Amino acid sequence: MKQLLFIALLSLNFVAMAGDVNNNASPQPTIDEKVEKLLRQMTLEEKVGQLNQYDWNAVRSKTRDALLQREIKEGKVGSFLNIDGAKAIKDLQKIAVEQSRLGIPIIFGLDVIHGYKTVFPVPLAEAASWDIEAIEKSARIAAIEASAAGINWTFAPMVDIARDPRWGRIMEGAGEDPYLGSLIAAARVRGFQGANLAQPDTILACAKHYAAYGAAEAGREYNTADMSLIRLWEVYLPPFKAAVDAGVGSVMLGFNELNGIPTSANKYLVTDVLKNKWRFPGFTVSDYGSFSELINHGYAADRAGAAELSINAGGDMDMQSRIYIEYLPGLVRNGRVKEDQINDSVRRILTMKFKLGLFDDPYRYCSEQREKELLLAPDHIKAAREIARKCIVLLKNDGRLLPLKKDIKTIAVIGSLADSKVDILGGWAAQGDREAPVSLLQALKERLGDNTAILYEPGYKQYGYTTDEMIDLAVHAAKQADLTILAIGENGNMSGECASRADIGLPHDQPKLADAIAKLNKPTVVVLMNGRPLTIKAVHDGFPAILETWFLGTQAGPAVTDVLFGDYNPSGKLPVTFPLVLGQVPIYYAQKNTGRPAPPVNPPWGTSKYSDVPNDPLYPFGFGLSYTTFEYSDVNLSADKIKMGQSLQVSTTVKNAGSVAGEEVVQLYIRDLVASVTKPVKELRGFQKISLKPGEAKNVTFTLTTADLAFYDNDMNFKAEPGKFKVFVGADSKAVKEASFYLE
C-alpha cells in the first residue's frame, strides 16, 4: 500500500514540477511548454547541473559515492556514462527522481558502438556490406539490448570520414567517402532511435566527432586538422548533416582543433553551422574532458576560461571535466556568460529527456525481466551471423580455390587469431559477452566434425610476436595438410581510440610466419582480421586466396566459415582504399587530377608520381570479388544534354556470367570536367546492391539530379555549373565503364 501511495505522489510531483498535465477539459501541453514550465522553477545551480555529466567508473570510491549521492539530490548531475545494468541504473535514477527537489531524471550513456551484448561487426566492416538496411538493423538490435540494460543514450554513430589508415578510429566509421558515409550515418541514427524515441527499446544517438576529427594530421589520435572550407563542407560535414536530417538527438564535439580553433569551443562549427544554419534541435556534448583540454591547446588560460569559451560556443553538456559545475554559476553572476545561454543548453537537454519518455516513466529502461529476455536473444545471434557474412570482402581467389570443397581430409589452421574469442569482437565492444563469441577454429570444428582432421598451431603470440619453434610447428602442420587457413592481422585492441599505428603492415613477426607458409607453395587461404586497411602486398603476392574479414563480432567464426565453404557467396566491397605501401598514405579514390597527371602506364618524368612505386593502391575503393563473375554492358544515358533542374537516367545491364548466384554492388560515379574550383577525378553518387541467379541479367538505373552535380564554389555557394560531365558505372571505383553528357 505504501508503495502504491508513493507512486501516486510521485505522479503528482511530475504534474506539478514538469507541467505534465492530463486534463480532459484542456489540450495536452507540448514538450516545449513542459520544458519552459520546468525551466522557470530551476535555480541557476540546478540548470548547470543538467549540463554536468560524470563518468561512473571514475568516481566509484566510497567517499565519492557519498559525494555523488549528495550532488544527485541537489540536482547537480544531468547524466552519467559508463554504468549499465537495469538494477544499478534504477538505483541511481530513484535518487534523482525521488530525492531531488524537482525530480528530473538522469540520462545514462554508454559507448554502444557496434552492439551491446550481441556484438556486430565493427562499423568499418559493416560499411563494407554496402547494405544500408542491414546496418540499420544492427543498430536497432544494439538499441534493443542496451535499452533493456538501462542505457538510454549511445555515443554513436561515429561519422568521421577517414582517409588515413594510420588513424586507429578509422575502424569506428564508414570509411573514406562522404556519400556512403552519409547514408550509413542516417541509417545508424534511425536504428538507434527508431521511429519514436518514446518507445522503451530506443536510445538517443550521438553523431561524433564534430568535426573533421578523421583528418587528424599524420593519422595520430587527438591531433590537429587543417583544411579549406570547401574540403570541410564537401567531405567532412555531409555525414553530420545527414545525421541531423535523420533526427539525431545529440552531437559530440571532437578532441581536435580545426583550422586553429579547438572544435570544443568552435562557435562557427557549433552555433553558426550546427544550431543556426542546420537548425539542429538536440544538444551537444564534449568528448571526454575535452572542454578542459582547451587549456592544453593553448586556447584557454584556465578552467574558468575554458568553461566560458565552451558554453559561449554552444557546448551544452560537459563530459567529466567538471568545469561547468564548478565555474558556470560564477561566470553568469559576473556577466561573462549570459543565463540565456545556459537556458538554451538546458532546454535542449530537457527536451530530449522528455522525448525519451523519462518524465512519463523514469524507470522505463530499468526492467530486469527485459534485460534477461533480450540480451543475446537467439534472433539477435542469428542477425549477427547474417550481417557478418555480408561484411566479408573477397580480395583474391586465384585458381578458384574458394569456395572450399567439403571433402577435404586435413586442414591446417595457423594463427592465434583463429582461436581467439576476444579479438574478433574488435574495439569498442561495449559490454560484449566475452564467452559468447564463436571463434574461427571452433566454427570449423563444429562444421567439419570428424570428417576432416584439423591441425591447429598458433604460429604467433599476442600482437604477432613469435619464435622459431612456433613457426617450425606451423610449417610442419601445413606440410601435412591438404589445405591451410592462415589467420593473420591485428589484435582487437590494435585499432580504435588511441590505437594509431605508424606502420600499418602485419604486426611484428607475422610477416615472417606468412613468408614461411607461402614458401610451401601449398593451397592456402589467408583470413585477415583487422580494423583498418593494412599494407599486405607480400601477402597478396604470396597466396592464392585472401578474405578480408575485419572484426566480425559474436558470430565471426560461423560467418567466415559460411563464406569459406560457399554457403554464402561474398558480396562485400571495400569502403576504404588499401594502399600498396605506407608511403602512399593518405590515399583515396577521389583524388584531384593535378596540372601534371600521371598516366596509369609508364608515366613520364615530370608528372605527379612516385619514383619507386605506382600511384595505384593495392585494392581500390569499392573493390570486392565474388565466387561468380558479373558482366557490365555499356553505360546508357537518357539524354546527352540536360538543363538545370532536370534529371538524367543512367543505366547499365549487369549479368551473372558464372555458375552460382551472387550479389553485386553496382556503383555510380561522376566527374565534373571543368568547374570554377577543381573537382576530383571521381565522386560516388549512387549504388545498388542486386542479386542475380546464374545467367540472369538485370537493368540497373540511377537518377542523377542537378543537386548531385552541385558543389561549393570559392565563395562557398552550393551550386551546379554548366559544362561537361562524365559518369562511370562499374564494380568498383577503378573497374568502370563511362559515358558523358552536358549540363546546360
Structure-block grid coordinates of residue 243 = 545525421
Helix boundaries (H) for 495-638:
510-518, 537-542, 556-564
Secondary structure of 319-373 as H, E, C letters: ECCCHHHHHHHHHHHCCCCCHHHHHHHHHHHHHHHHHCCCCCCCCCCCCHHHHHH
Distance CA 404, CA 93 (A): 54
Spatial strand order in the sheet of 206-210: 206-210, 250-253, 283-285
Catalytic residue among 84, 287, 562, 732: 287
What's the Cα-to-Cα distance from 523 to each of 293, 411, 416, rounded to whole Å?
53, 10, 20
Structure-block grid coordinates of residue 162 = 577517414
Q: What is the CA radius of gyration of the chain?
A: 27
Q: Is the dihedral of CA 493, 498, 503, 505 positive or negative?
A: positive
Residue 489: φ, ψ to 5°: 145, -145
What's the Cα-to-Cα distance from 392 to each of 122, 182, 340, 480, rounded to whole Å?
12, 21, 51, 28
Secondary structure of 477-496 as H, E, C letters: HHHHCCEEEEEEECCHHHCC
Structure-block grid coordinates of residue 581 = 605501401
Structure-block grid coordinates of residue 113 = 558502438
In this structure, the number of other CB atoms found within 10 A of the CB of residue 602 comes to 6
Per-position DSSP letters for 621-646, written without gaps between them: TT--B-SS-EEE---EES-SEE-TT-
Which of 692, 624, 701, 699 lies closest to 656, judged by CA?
692
For residue 742, give the 3-state DSSP assignment.
strand
In this structure, the number of other CB atoms found within 10 A of the CB of residue 266 comes to 28
Distance CA 609, CA 613 (A): 8
Query: CB of 281 within 8 A of CB of 231?
Result: no
Residues with Cβ within 8 Å of 352's Cβ and at least 6 positions away in sequence, in order, are 107, 197, 204, 249, 250, 282, 283
Per-position DSSP letters for 644-702, written without gaps between them: TT--EEEEEEEEE-SSS-EEEEEEEEEEESS-SS---S-EEEEEEEEEE-TT-EEEEEE
Q: Which residue is listed with cell 605506382? A: 614
Distance CA 253, CA 545 (A): 42
**Residue at 503: amino acid letter:** D
Query: CB of 547 within 8 A of CB of 570?
Result: yes
Per DSSP, what are the bridge partners of residue 651?
636, 701
Distance CA 5, CA 58 (A): 37
Whether residue 287 lies in the annotated active site: yes
Which residues are annotated as catalytic? 287
